[in-house]
Structure 1
Amino acid sequence: MSTEQLVKMVNQIATNNSHQTQQESVALIVNHLTKFWALSMKKQIIDYAKQDGKDLLPLAMLSINELAKKYQ
């Protein structure tokens, strides 16, 4: 899957979960990515966030940074 597609997907997930507090939203997004994204997809979006991440929404970036802690 292309990085562009992953960015679009994680931004949609972030938008759909933005009605919670920031902490709750991040937890929900990380939980979703952990459960439903393949390891290769998670690693690809983490790498993108570390290298550039310019197209990620702030909430998506926070969530990916939190997700990255699980895969260090």
Structure 2
Amino acid sequence: MTDNELLHLIKMINHIADNLDYDGGETEVALKVLEHIDRFWAPSMKLKIVEYAEVDGTGLSSISKLAITSMS
């Protein structure tokens, strides 16, 4: 996966978190993000975002990080 693809994944998960952050606390929203990722993302996409979060993760929102932590 290229750097551009990784940047796209980071942007997507942060947008998903923003869009689902309309009601509830961070943990509840992170679970909604995780559910979305589990349903719609390919395993290779999930693996790449988990690896990124473990190594760097600076571009991820706090909700995105929480969702990814639950994933790994």
Q: What is the CA-CA distance between 1:38 and the residue it aligns to?
A: 0.1
Q: What is the CA-CA distance between 1:62 and the residue it aligns to?
A: 0.6
2:29 maps to 25
Give unmatched runs, 5+ long, in structure 2: none
Q: CA RMSD in A?
A: 1.0
1:46 maps to 50
TM-score, normalised via structure 2 length: 0.88
Give unmatched runs, 5+ long, in structure 1: none
Task: State the percentage of identical aligned residues.
Answer: 35
Counterpart amino acid of residue 71 in structure 2: L
Runs of 4+ in 1 over 6 A off after TM superposition: none
TM-score, normalised via structure 1 length: 0.88
Is 1:7 aligned to residue 10 of structure 2? yes
2 CA distance for matches of 1:7 and 1:26?
Answer: 15
Q: What is the CA-CA distance between 1:61 and the residue it aligns to?
A: 0.6
Q: How many positions carry a matched residue from both structures?
A: 68
CA contact (8 A) 2:21 2:29 kept: yes
Q: What is the CA-CA distance between 1:24 and the residue it aligns to?
A: 1.8
2 CA distance for matches of 1:64 and 1:20?
Answer: 20
